[in-house]
């Protein structure tokens, strides 16, 4: 008996076999091809779709919800997308055309059309007929959004259909549901979801009419995507890079970031070069230099993570960031004293040099204060300039802690030793 392959197995085979990628994909049942495609990166989606015939693409799109089909069509060029749309059935085509009007990185771009609107004064018997029509048309049980005079007042939980009487009106069972305007970005969607833990969010037009609904599974996927993107950005890795890409592809995605890091490394090295005579006279300084730089870099990254999270949740901005900057500088100073005492004690006991211990201790305090300052102010400035602080700030913070850390350590050594 042949063992059925799981979705993870199929994705792994597609990723790890570039030359056989299309033949492997074509072996997947057509009703599952779309879901496999959606689990791949945008680059691989474009690559696979470009090698499939129009008939093959249309067939796999027919098995997807309109919002999922829209996601795939947005990953290919506009000319072919319009051509494929004409070959789809009328009902799904109309829904996809509606969804394609919106920016994919906004609430409207994330929404589903799997819902029904009902007036608060209808009975459960009338509601059942509306739901049956929707299920017959789409094959799915919809979210029930309740309106009054055309405006959203809440949602009817599904379980009420089982407990209410047929001739009973639905209005007393209505529950509040969070909503968001269609043009709000992904971070704002996540913020609403976190403030109002619920299984869905309603998307409204500017006139407060209902456009669609965002389900919790889509929001959770969005949160996972943001977390993965933040990790990539911190490391300087392209969003398009897959774990099983070839070595050449990885080089293309990474070399620019590494060159920028090389330039900043030379900047730090030039500071060290200013104190060659000091290092030659006190060789032990070279042993402690990586400790000063490393601790500063770690402290700066900790501060950056906290500030970026505050920016994402709209808790702070440059105008209101004075308190945050002060607190981070103060925290850096206190942590510097704690770690400075420890490293000074090691230097005194190990190297029998109280003055070396004093130099390394003071340098540690100074560098952690620097880390707190730059770790908090740089992401605030980046955000003000319209740049992504998660991807832009790390390199500047590391450079600042390296340059000023070495300068403080070697400068103090020159004066005191």
Q: What is the pLDDT of residue 210?
A: 93
Instruction: Looking at the structure, tell me whether residues 258 and 390 fall in a common domain.
Output: yes
Instruction: Looking at the structure, tell me whether residues 251 and 229 fall in a common domain.
Output: no
Domain count for the chain, please give it. Answer: 3
Instruction: Looking at the structure, tell me whether residues 73 and 131 fall in a common domain.
Output: no
| 160-174 residue pLDDT tens | 888 888 899 999 899
240 within some domain? no
* 3-state secondary structure at position 145: strand
Q: Are 68 and 38 in contact (CB under 8 A)?
A: yes
Q: Can you spell out the DSSP letters for 86-120?
A: HTS-HHHHHHHHHHTTS-TTBHHHH-B--EEEEET
Please compute the mean of the pLDDT values over residues 328-345 and round it to a whole number.
93
Instruction: Looking at the structure, tell me whether residues 124 and 88 fall in a common domain.
Output: no
Instruction: Looking at the structure, tell me whether residues 318 and 397 fall in a common domain.
Output: yes
Question: What gap in Å lies between CA 268 and CA 416, rounded to an integer?
Answer: 22
> Residue 213 has which token pair?
């609904």
Q: Are 22 and 53 in contact (CB under 8 A)?
A: no
The residue from 60, 80, 101 where one domain ends is: 101
Please give the residue range of the domain that contains residue 350: 247-416
- 213 strand-pairing partners: 112, 202
| 358-409 residue pLDDT tens | 999 999 999 999 999 999 998 888 888 877 676 667 778 888 888 888 888 8
Q: What is the pLDDT of residue 3?
A: 44
Instruction: Looking at the structure, tell me whether residues 270 and 377 fall in a common domain.
Output: yes
Question: What gap in Å lies between CA 175 and CA 165, rounded to an integer?
Answer: 18
Instruction: Looking at the structure, tell me whether residues 179 and 117 fall in a common domain.
Output: yes
Q: What is the pLDDT of residue 1?
A: 36
pLDDT tops 50 at residue 180: yes
Q: What is the dihedral of CA 279, 284, 286, 287, to 10 degrees?
A: -170
Instruction: Looking at the structure, tell me whether residues 341 and 206 fall in a common domain.
Output: no
Q: Can you spell out the DSSP letters for 299-365?
A: HHHHHHHHHHHHHHTTS--STT-HHHHHHHHHHHHHHHHHHHHHHHHHHHHHH--HHHHHHHHHHHH
Q: Are 85 and 73 in contact (CB under 8 A)?
A: yes
Instruction: Looking at the structure, tell me whether residues 381 and 276 fall in a common domain.
Output: yes
Instruction: Looking at the structure, tell me whether residues 35 and 59 fall in a common domain.
Output: yes
Please compute the mean of the pLDDT values over residues 175-199 and round it to a whole number.
85
Instruction: Looking at the structure, tell me whether residues 259 and 298 fall in a common domain.
Output: yes
Select, from the ranges 146-150, 192-196, 262-266, 268-272, the one with the highest average predicted confidence (pLDDT). 146-150
Please compute the mean of the pLDDT values over residues 263-272 and round it to a whole number.
82
- Strand 151-155 to 143-148 pairing: antiparallel
219 within some domain? yes
> Residue 264 has which token pair?
């900043």
Q: How does residue 127 score in pLDDT terms, banded at 50, 70 and 90? A: very high
The domain that contains 48 carries what CATH number?
Answer: 1.25.60.10
- Apex 376 CA angle, 299 and 260, nearest 5: 75
Question: What gap in Å lies between CA 92 and CA 64, rounded to an integer?
Answer: 10
1 within some domain? no
The domain that contains 298 carries what CATH number?
Answer: 1.10.357.20
pTM of the model: 0.55
Instruction: Looking at the structure, tell me whether residues 147 and 277 fall in a common domain.
Output: no
Q: How far is residue 10 from each of residues 29, 96, 184, measured CA to CA in Å?
A: 11, 27, 35
2 within some domain? no
The residue from 101, 122, 146 where one domain ends is: 101
- What b/e sequence results for 151-187 when a residue is b if at least 16 CB atoms lie within 10 Å of its CB, and e otherwise? ebbbbbeeebbeebeeeebbeebbeebebbebebebe
The residue from 101, 123, 151 where one domain ends is: 101
Q: Are 148 and 162 in contact (CB under 8 A)?
A: no
């Amino acid at each position: 008996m042949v063992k059925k392959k799981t979705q993870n197995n199929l994705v792994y085979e597609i990723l790890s076999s570039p030359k056989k990628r299309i033949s492997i994909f074509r072996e997947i049942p057509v009703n599952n091809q779309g879901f496999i495609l959606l689990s791949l990166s945008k680059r691989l989606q474009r690559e696979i779709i470009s090698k499939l015939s129009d008939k093959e693409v249309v067939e796999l799109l027919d098995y997807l919800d309109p919002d999922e089909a829209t996601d795939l069509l947005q990953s290919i060029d506009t000319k072919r997308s319009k051509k494929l749309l004409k070959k789809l059935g009328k009902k799904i085509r109309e829904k996809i055309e509606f969804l394609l009007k919106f920016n994919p990185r906004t609430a409207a771009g994330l929404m589903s059309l799997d819902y029904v609107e009902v007036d608060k004064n209808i009975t459960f018997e009338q509601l059942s007929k509306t739901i049956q029509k929707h299920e017959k048309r789409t094959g799915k049980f919809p979210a029930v959004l309740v309106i009054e005079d055309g405006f959203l007042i809440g949602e009817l939980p599904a379980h009420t259909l089982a407990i209410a009487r047929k001739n009973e009106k639905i209005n007393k069972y209505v529950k509040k549901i969070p909503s968001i305007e269609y043009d709000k970005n992904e971070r704002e969607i996540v913020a609403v979801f976190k403030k109002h833990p619920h299984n869905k969010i309603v998307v409204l037009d500017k006139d407060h009419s209902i456009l669609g609904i965002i389900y919790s599974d889509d929001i959770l996927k969005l949160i996972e995507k943001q977390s993965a993107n933040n990790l990539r950005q911190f490391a300087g890795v392209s969003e398009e890079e897959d774990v099983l890409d070839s070595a050449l592809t990885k080089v293309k995605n990474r070399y620019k970031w590494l060159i920028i890091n090389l330039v900043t490394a030379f900047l730090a090295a030039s500071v060290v070069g200013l104190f060659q005579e000091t290092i030659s006279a006190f060789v032990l300084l070279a042993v402690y230099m990586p400790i000063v730089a490393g601790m500063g870099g770690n402290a700066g990254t900790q501060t950056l993570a906290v500030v970026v999270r505050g920016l994402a949740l709209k808790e702070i901005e440059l105008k209101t960031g004075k308190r945050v900057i002060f607190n981070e500088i103060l925290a850096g100073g206190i942590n510097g004293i704690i770690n400075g005492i420890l490293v000074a004690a090691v230097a005194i006991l190990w190297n029998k040099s109280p003055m070396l211990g004093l130099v390394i201790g003071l340098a540690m305090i100074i560098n952690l204060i620097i880390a707190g300052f730059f770790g908090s102010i740089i992401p605030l400035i980046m955000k003000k300039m319209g740049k992504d602080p998660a991807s832009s700030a790390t390199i500047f913070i590391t450079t600042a802690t390296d340059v000023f850390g070495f300068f403080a350590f070697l400068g103090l050594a020159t004066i005191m030793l």
